[in-house]
Amino acid sequence: MLFNEVSGATHLLTLEALVVLQQLGAAPTSEATIAGALRERFEVDDATLSDDVADLLEQLSSLDLIEPCPL
């Protein structure tokens, strides 16, 4: 569970989403690096991992939990 202090919203997130948020909280990170971190920590389908990461980042962005930034 994650509380967004800016919006006042509470979100129920997957463990994968929380790992991504922790990684992005440390520093801006590429999708490839995020995919690698998820691959190390979870059993993932390599065939869909890139699309899954892009979808997850889009969902987190739509919840205003992350925003794009140049690397």
Q: What is the pTM of this model?
A: 0.87
Q: What is the pLDDT of residue 11?
A: 93
Sorted by where each begins, the domain ranges of the chain are: 2-62
Query: Do residues 35 and 42 touch, judged by C-beta distance below 8 A?
Result: no
Task: List pLDDT tens digits, range 17-51.
Answer: 999 999 999 999 999 999 999 999 999 999 999 99
The three state secondary structure string of the chain is CEECCCCCCEECCCHHHHHHHHHHHHCCCCHHHHHHHHHHHCCCCCCCHHHHHHHHHHHHHHCCCCCCCCC
Residue labelled with tokens 């990684």: 23
If pLDDT is split at 50, 70 and 90, which confidence band does 5 have?
Answer: confident
